[in-house]
Chain A
Amino acid sequence: MDCFQDTVFKLKRYWAERGAIIQEPYDIEVGAGTMCPETFLRVLGPRPYRVAYVQPSRRPADGRYGENPNRLYKHQQLQVILKPSPEDVIDQYLGSIEAIGIDLKLHDIKFEEDNWEAPTLGAWGIGWQVMLDGLEISQFTYFQQCGGFDLDLVPAELTYGLERISAFLQGVDSVYEIEWAPGVKYAEVRFADELQSSVYNFEMADVDRLRLLFQEYEAEAQRLLSLYEEKAESNQRFPVIAAYEQVLKCSHLFNLLDARGAISVTERVGMIKRVRDLAVGTARIWVDQQA
């Protein structure tokens, strides 16, 4: 039986063999692998790109103090971007499922409509959730728009829910029972993180300070974005990634505030728009730099 890390190794190997760069997780909090620059920025513009990485993804509202067997504050996604999407992209995807030891002839696979949308990123796509014996194991999306731009090449994004897939492979009912490495359970590696993050997110985070931080990161992003000059010779030096990192900070702080229930009705719509405006501004600069 494969432990968690074996499954990760196999998926990375599989996609490496199909021309993907194997990246490491991004080092700033994100809600999903999509938000990493490796996806958000790289899908823009006319240059082909293939990349795969595991991204620990934080959803403060989904934290359950480690009590819920299936729901996590921080879960591990394997994210694959194939830009442009190859004609046989679904076959390649199914091949990856076989590569981790699932004989598809013996299982029930369905592609059920599930379009993806990220309002804070000005991004959306068309696709499915992939169901394996009734379990949603992946999201499959053809990106259509990102940062408000229609995409030149249509990338396929494959997102694997690694905990779910591992629990399925190992036949356990709780993610905490997954064997991460030989003799080491998921709980040993992650339980304390889940418990303590839930405590912080739901009970101890200082709402006023989080708000202040949001404003600071937003101001820094705005300041940077305002400094970009489209025609300048030196525009390649412009730190678009740094600007985008401020956006990611804002997005995470927004999620934290939201999980605390600290955002009012009217404020919520406004904050989403503020983050989106920054994301769209960053995307515009990236596209300009690529041109």
Chain B
Amino acid sequence: MNFLLEIGTEEIPHWMIPGALKQLSKLDLLGATPQVEATPRRLVVRATGVPERTPDQEQIVKGPPVSAGEKAAAGFAKKQGVDASELRESGGYWEARKRIPGCGAAQILAETLPRSILAIQWPKTMYWTAKNGPRFIRPIRWLVALLEGQVIPFEIAGVPSGNLTRGHRQLGSSSIPVTIEDYERKLRDNFVLLSSEERRRKIEKEAAALGARIDPDLLETLTFITEYPAAIRGGFDPAFLELPSEVLTTVMKHHQKYFSVEPQPGVLAPAFVAVMNTSGDPAGLVRRGHERVLRARFNDARFFWNADQRKKLAERVEDLKKVTFHARLGSYFEKTQRVVALVGELDGGEYGRRAALLSKADLTTEMVKEFPELQGVVGGLYARAQGEAEPVARAIYEHYKPVSMEDAIPSTREGQLVSLADKLDTLRECFRIGMIPSGSKDPFALRRAAQGVVKILVEAKLPYDFYALLSPELTDFMRERVQYYFREVRGFKYDEVNAVLAASRGTLADVEQRLAALAQVRPTEDFEPLAASFKRIRNILKQAGFEPDGPLQESLLEPGPERDLYDAYQRVRARIQGAGYRAALEGIASLRPSVDRFFDKVLVNAGDPALRVNRLTLLSELLTEFSTIADFSEIVPSGEQK
């Protein structure tokens, strides 16, 4: 049977809709597969092939032992509602077989749907009927629930299900009888495009035709704040193009949800594309409204720009005493002092220290108060306008980068160091007072800061010992971030990452080089078997509880595989002296035949204790000597990968 559910609500925040749909796509429809759709005002589930009823089922109930007598059996049969003659014996006990009749789908859904709907998880919910009333993301105002031609009867928050939907707020009817078959068409007749894909394509096509640079995030947002989108183009006074394009674009995209118009990448035209939630703007009324708002916003920005120039960034540093970094961690002034010191310790030079000193001063400007997402960028622009050296301005401009794993790191050494020091300071301080991310809780975005630290250290090839930068309580957390970065961002295998991290205590740039070499040598024929042998060596040493005590006695080596292994070891050691990681790993891999033969022919646990100790010493040296690039015992053979 065909099924339709429409949860009619007041406008749902756009960014929550995909998550809700994902949950609804798992709705239990007696085995039928839910198809989901949404607009800001409706969550819709449709399905075909919902069974008419659930099949009858047989339930077996275990009864008293047969030895308990007939009276007990009769009592049991009566309780189960079956005739005593229908009881069967199984392993000395009576058993009743009960038939549970199946249930009509409509009846089941009438019971389960209200629960399932209210069980949708939202980031924040509200109640609207009265205290202790049901909670949802926004008030539910109507419900359509149909199974073939019938309404599935239920009620949520006083709203009964039915067959009446609503159209677009301004353009559609507010009461539209629908069937499953005509539902989507009737919505369209009432200016609701149910398919989010159709809305997305419509916006993209119309906006592109008007010259918009299509921003994917904005496109997604607009898809879920409109029921009937249509794009229009407006213009603004070219004189505003004197303002930095960063400011103009932020106002358009983030504050007004407009696409910018860029004839060439990075070059703004004095125009924008707005997406309306209505069918058209024949008289240009809407366009003029949007133009007027944008003009006011740009005027504000220009006002802020001019007002902010009255006080230079350098004079604003003192004002940071009044800007809270964190209630328990003091002000941004104090943070600035720490970051300047840290950049100094990292040999950031005069420009680096200057940039660090001014990096947070833009938090006191009107421009950043108005456009917080432009922090850093505004500081950089102001620094340039106020005659700071270009490296200083650029470092300030970029010091929040990378803001995500996809974002680039700052382009200059000064910027990299200020960003690194800023993020490290945040991490150190937060961990110091026990503010540590757990699960989904990470209010200070410490994971992102940590990811930024790792990315900068690796990609800028900075020469600092990673662990020396960390406070003790940070070590495990940061190590996880390093693993995450190399695995998820760089695509190295987890065991390779573990192997290198187990061996390396240096810079992350060095870790990267080792990983690259390891990943290259990994597929060669000899490598994995050798790694397996190393693991074996480790186990042997561990089982023997062996600690090397004195040097290897060359004279005790038996000719044949044992002596051969020793010679090969000496040869390889000499050869990889000063070689690059890759050459070294290849050299080590070349030991495989010798190692294999050794294990094949030589008994480590020799009866003669001196021989035994000598052999263990040989293995121990081999392991120590060749585990400095990566700890091969961490390598999991390809066949056994998790």
Interface residues of A (CB under 8 A from B): 64, 67-71, 84-85, 87, 90-91, 94, 104-113, 115, 125-126, 128, 132-135, 142, 144, 150-154, 168, 171, 173, 261, 263-266, 268-269
Number of B residues, CB within 8 Å of A: 52
B10 touches A90 (CB 8 A): yes
* Cβ 8 A contact of A108, one of B286, B300, B319: B286
Contacts of B285 in A (CB 8 A): 106-107, 133
State the CA gap A13–B330 with chains docked (Å): 51
Interface residues of B (CB under 8 A from A): 10-11, 13-14, 40, 124, 126-131, 133, 138-139, 141, 169-171, 174, 225-226, 256-258, 274, 276-278, 281, 283, 285-286, 288-290, 292-296, 299-300, 303, 319, 321-324, 327, 330-331
**Residue with the highest number of chain B CB atoms closer than 10 Å, among A64, A110, A152:** A110
A152 touches B130 (CB 8 A): yes
A151 touches B289 (CB 8 A): no
B289 touches A266 (CB 8 A): no
Contacts of B300 in A (CB 8 A): 68, 70-71
State the CA gap A144–B257 with chains docked (Å): 29
B277 touches A126 (CB 8 A): no
B131 touches A168 (CB 8 A): no
B292 touches A111 (CB 8 A): no
* Cβ 8 A contact of A168, one of B129, B133, B138, B292: B292
State the CA gap A153–B131 with chains docked (Å): 6
A87 touches B141 (CB 8 A): yes
State the CA gap A115–B126 with chains docked (Å): 11
* 25 contacts across the A-B interface (CB closer than 8 A): A69-B296, A70-B299, A90-B10, A94-B170, A104-B170, A107-B289, A109-B170, A109-B278, A110-B225, A110-B226, A110-B277, A113-B14, A115-B124, A134-B290, A135-B293, A142-B126, A142-B128, A144-B127, A150-B131, A153-B131, A173-B299, A265-B321, A265-B330, A265-B331, A269-B324
- Known A-B contacts A71-B300, A142-B128; the reply to A135 vs B277 at CB < 8 A is no
* Cβ 8 A contact of B225, one of A84, A112, A125: A112
B299 touches A265 (CB 8 A): no
* Cβ 8 A contact of A134, one of B133, B171, B289: B289
Whole-angstrom distance between the Cβ of B500 and the nearest chain A Cβ: 43
State the CA gap A79–B456 with chains docked (Å): 51
A105 touches B171 (CB 8 A): yes
State the CA gap A106–B170 with chains docked (Å): 9
Contacts of B281 in A (CB 8 A): 106, 108
B322 touches A126 (CB 8 A): no
B170 touches A126 (CB 8 A): no
Contacts of A110 in B (CB 8 A): 11, 225-226, 277
Contacts of A91 in B (CB 8 A): 174
Identity of the chain A residue whose Cβ is nearest the Cβ of B234 in the assembled complex: A134
Identity of the chain B residue whose Cβ is nearest the Cβ of A115 in the assembled complex: B124
Contacts of B283 in A (CB 8 A): 106
- Known A-B contacts A126-B138, A264-B321; the reply to A154 vs B128 at CB < 8 A is yes
- Known A-B contacts A105-B170, A110-B225, A111-B40; the reply to A135 vs B289 at CB < 8 A is yes
Contacts of B276 in A (CB 8 A): 108
Whole-angstrom distance between the Cβ of A112 and the nearest chain B Cβ: 6
